[in-house]
Amino acid sequence: MYLDQLDVERRRAGWELTIAETDWPRTGTLVATEANGTVVGFVHIGPARDGDGDPIVIGELAAIYLLPEAWGSGVGRRLMAAAVNVLRDAGFAEAILWVFEGNERAQRFYEIGGWQLDGVTKDVVIADMPLPEVRYRLVL
């Protein structure tokens, strides 16, 4: 898969910068851990980065990731609920997120959470390959 070709150290450095630029509660990262402190997932939120909406009123769930062993445990639902609550409390009226087209597991997860496709698509380039994404929207 193309994501497997990503440079881990480059991604780590990028996330360190992203986390350092936190402007809570409008931008931030929530982390899910096991009782022993092991990180099993995270979600990152902030103002929408798309040019077709007002980032003052539209927030974005920019990333949500779980270790595969945490899938189906409820951690993802709790992270999503926490992110939606933070976005709402920060004053956003709506939220968006992007997902790779055809990622049925993720799309089902978002749809169960009330997110709806809004008809907007784009391609992101990873490892020189354009990959289509679809956008979801949630009224907060």
Please check whether residue 7 lies inside any domain of the structure: no
In a domain, 127, yes or no: yes
Whether 78 is in a domain gets the answer yes
Q: pLDDT tens across 88-101, in order? A: 999 999 999 999 99
Dmax (CA) of the chain: 43
Q: Can you tell me whether residue 102 is helix, strand or coil?
A: coil
Rounded CA-CA distance 73/102 in Å is 23
8 within domain boundaries? no
Residue 96: give the domain boundaries: 23-139
For the chain, give the mean pLDDT.
Answer: 89
Is position 43 within any domain?
yes
Chain-centre distance of CA 74, in angstroms? 16
CATH number for the domain harbouring residue 67? 3.40.630.30
Specify the number of domains making up the chain: 1
Q: Does the residue 120 lie in any domain?
A: yes
Question: What is the chain's alpha carbon radius of gyration, rounded to the nearest angstrom?
Answer: 15
Residue 5 inside a domain? The answer is: no
pLDDT band at 133 (very low <50, low <70, confident <90, very high): very high
3-class state of residue 41 by DSSP: strand
Residue 91 near residue 54, CB atoms below 8 Å: no
What are the pLDDT digits (tens) for 39-79?
999 999 999 999 999 999 999 999 999 999 999 999 999 99
- In a domain? residue 3: no
